[in-house]
Amino acid sequence: MERRYQAQGEINELHVANEGQVSPFSRSSPKEKGALKPELLAHGGNFSIAARQEGQGWRQIDKYLGVVTLNHRPQGNTLLSEFSGTSFSSPYIAHLAGRLLNNYPAASANLLRALLVNHARISHEIKSSFEGKKHVRRVAGYGAVDEDSLFKSSQEHVVLISEEEIENDKHQFFELPIPDDYFRKGKAIRTITVSLAYSPSVRTTRLEYLATKMKFHLVNSDSLEGITAAFNNDNKKTIESIPECDGGKRDLTQEDRSRGTLQSSTWTFSQFNKPRKLFLVVTRQDQAWAVKQVNQFENYALAISITDREHENARLYEQISQKLQAREKVKQRA
C-alpha cells in the first residue's frame, strides 16, 4: 500500500496496489496443487481512495485509476466513467487473441492460447510482492503478455508453431531446429519457452473432471532413436528413462504446469559447453472412465519461442529457417 502525505499531515490518497502489482480484487487459484488460474494477467484498473479524516473515521471522497468506459447511467451523469475489475482484463486478452487471428486466420483456439501464454512473463513488481514462487503463480499465473514480440519473429526471437493430433497412450516427438551458433561458448542469456494447449472433454460430477490429460517433456539426447526407445513402455525394464533436461533452469516443473490444459515453461541458459540436440515429447493419457467420451484423435497446439537477445549479430531467424528448409528437402527426397 502506498501512502502520500500532505504538508499538514493529512493522508490524502490510499493506493490499494502499486503500479505493476496484482490488484486485490483479482481472482486466484483456489488450491495450491490445482491448475493455474488465472492463466494470464492484464490491466483491470486499481483503487486509489482519496480520504479525509473526520472525527474518529475516514470519509471517502472519490476513487481513481479505473478503466475508462461508457457510463451505464449516462442520464443525469457523465457519458464516460471509471470502473475496476477483472471484467476489464478479459476483453483485453480477447483483443490480443483477435489480433493474433488476423496474423493466423486458420489458427485454432488452442493455438491462440498457446501463443498468448508463450509470450507471458511475470514482472519484477509482482515477484517482489510475494514470498515464494508458488504464491506468485497462484495469483499471477503465467503473467502479462509481452506484446512487443507476440505478433512476429525477429532475428533474435523466433516462434515455432504447430497444430497436431494424438491418440491415447501415445507419444509424439519433435526435434527443435536449434542452430549450432545458439550453443556457442561464452556467457550470454538465451531462453527456450515451450507452450502446449488442448481442449479435452470434461465432466462436472467428480473431482477429476478432465477426460484426457496431456503433458510435454523437453529432453536432451544424441538421437531421435534414443528418445523413442526410452519412451517405449515395452523397454521400461531394459532402457533407463530420460528425465526432463535442465530442471534447475526452468521456471515451472512438469508436475506444476501439467495440471491445466494450458501449459508453459521457460528454460533460461547462460552458458553452454557444446552443441546439443533438444527434443520435445508430447504424451496423451485418457482417464479410465472416459472411454466412451473421448475422440480417437485429440487436437492440440504447440508454440515454442527461442531467443538469443544478447547476440550482437544474431541471425537466429535465418539459421532456423535454413535448418527447416533442409529438413523439408530431405522429406521430399524420401
For 34-61, what is the mean pLDDT?
75
pLDDT per position as a tens digit, 112-155: 999 999 999 998 888 888 776 778 888 888 999 999 889 989 99
pLDDT of residue 205: 67
pLDDT per position as a tens digit, 314-333: 899 999 999 999 888 776 66
Question: Is it true that domain 153-333 has CATH number 2.60.120.380?
Answer: yes
pLDDT per position as a tens digit, 188-214: 999 999 999 999 988 776 657 888 999
Query: What is the distance, to the nearest Å, from the Cα of residue 41 to the centroid of all Cα atoms in its chain?
Result: 10
Q: Evaluate if residue 37 carries a pLDDT over 60.
A: yes
DSSP code per residue over 143-211:
-EE-GGGTS---SSEEEEEEEEEE-TTEEEEEE----GGGG-SS---EEEEEEEEE---B-SSSS--BS
C-alpha cell at 222: 544424441
Quote the percentage of the chain above a pLDDT of 70.
Answer: 88
Comparing 44 with 177, which gets the higher pLDDT?
A: 177
User: How many Å from the N-terminal Cα to the C-terminal Cα in the chain?
Assistant: 64
Q: Evaluate if residue 271 carries a pLDDT over 80.
A: yes
For 40-60, what is the mean pLDDT?
73
Q: Report the alpha-carbon distance of residue 264 to residue 304 in Å, rounded.
A: 9
Q: What CA–CA distances, in Å, run from 207 to 16, 229, 273?
A: 35, 34, 46
Q: Report the alpha-carbon distance of residue 153 to residue 161 in Å, rounded.
A: 11
Specify the DSSP class assigned to residue 78.
Answer: -
| Residue 50 burial (10 A CB sphere; 0-12, 13-18, 19+) | middle
CATH 2.60.120.380 location in the chain: 153-333
